[in-house]
Amino acid sequence: MNKKLRVGHIGTKHDHSRDIVQCLEKFPDIFEIVGITEDDPEWRSAVENTEPYKNHRFLTEEQLFNAGCDMMVCEGFEYDLPHAALRCVENGIPVHIDKPAGRDYDVFERVISLAKAKSLPVQMGYMYRYNPAVEDCLSLVKSGRLGEIHSVTALMSSDHSPEKRRWLSRFDDAGGIMFFLGCHMVDLIYMMQGMPEEVTPFLTRSGIFGCEAIDEATAIFRYKNGISIAQSNSTEIGGGGRRQLVVNGSLGSFEIRPLEYNGTARIVFAKHENDSLSYTHEEHTYPHMTYLERYDKMMLDFAAMVRGEKENPFGYDYELECQKLVLKACGI
């Protein structure tokens, strides 16, 4: 059996930080968490004795780099992610970077360029890439069974508390909720359609309960044969259960709703024959997936990349172009 992969965990301020630690803990035969680093002493004091961090050592970043880590996970504040990732690849260590890759494209470009030169795996934390319904949809797109894709609608909303929406103001210079959650939807659109000809963001503030953060956002992507939409907001009551993806092609459509946990896919195929159309309908219900289970396949896939057992299905160039598109959707 392959030896365990020694993992260093950099930062604890990302919303997914605890989730990734708990995910790695579920696979003790594969991952060994060497330590966690948090350079904000006040923040470290607040979290180091809480679950799941209290199960692990807190080290300095230098100690982590000298501890023989096989891989790093970057889970700090979003704007700091590419800088931390750059230090990882400079030290020759494969890196998982949570989403999105900050707001400084030049730094992320350096990360990817150096990782490519050193043949180091880089994985972005877009967990919907590993959603089984999304995987099935992408397979149909690539096979041509949906025909020419002319529009994608990707919606990811929540009904965040006023406190959480005030917290969102830290991203006001990067598109607010579009940066924080909408980046997932931008990734899905790019995955299905590639780079659009034009992107127009609409970033607004609802002002509900006195919150002035950018908490409602829509981005319009213009392609040569249609319009696609990424939408995210913090104000939709019950929005978490209505997250969805709809992919429309000339030969069929694929709808996933809700997008996670117990998603159902509805697929319609069209048959053109003698100037008439006929349709076949399929419905696929996917096994229930808990909140934490949505990270499992992603992290196990990264382990396979680190061990050299597979290539990253989302290569270096994909990540650069996707991040470029995320920043455009955020008005940067």
Tens digit of pLDDT for each residue in 38-70? Answer: 999 999 999 999 999 999 999 999 999 999 999
b/e sequence 54-88, b meaning 16+ C-beta within 10 Å: eebebbebeebbeeebbbbbbbbebbbbbbbbbbb
Q: Is 112:208 a contact under the CB 8 Å cutoff?
A: no
5-125+295-314 and 128-289 in the same fold: no
Separation CA 48–CA 53 (nearest Å): 5
CB 58 within 8 A of CB 44: yes
Q: What is the pLDDT of residue 260?
A: 84
For residue 63 the two structure tokens come to: 């100690």
How far is CA 129 from each of CA 69, 137, 153, 197, 253, rounded to the nearest angstrom?
Answer: 26, 11, 16, 23, 19
Domain 128-289 belongs to what topology? Dihydrodipicolinate Reductase; domain 2 (3.30.360)
The predicted model scores a pTM of 0.96
Sheet (strand 122-124) strand order: 31-37, 5-10, 71-74, 95-97, 122-124
Please report the DSSP string for 119-157 in residue order: T--EEE--GGGG-HHHHHHHHHHHHTTT-SEEEEEEE--
pLDDT < 50 positions in the chain? none
The per-residue pLDDT for 278 is 85
Give 227: exposed, middle or buried? Use CB within 10 Å, 0-12, 13-18, 19+: middle
pLDDT tens for 194-203 read 999 999 999 9
The β-bridge relationship of strands 95-97 and 71-74 is parallel
Domain layout of the chain by residue ranges: 5-125+295-314, 128-289
What integer pLDDT is reported at residue 137 of this predicted model?
A: 98
Rounded to an integer, what distance in angstroms lies between the CA atom of residue 249 and that of residue 36?
Answer: 45
Determine the Cα angle at 110 with ends 107 and 112, to 5°: 115
pLDDT at 9: 98
Query: How confident is the model at residue 271, as a pLDDT?
Result: 83
Q: Which residue has the tokens 């994909």?
A: 318
CATH classification of 5-125+295-314, choosing from 3.40.50.720, 3.50.50.60, 3.40.190.10, 3.40.50.1860? Answer: 3.40.50.720
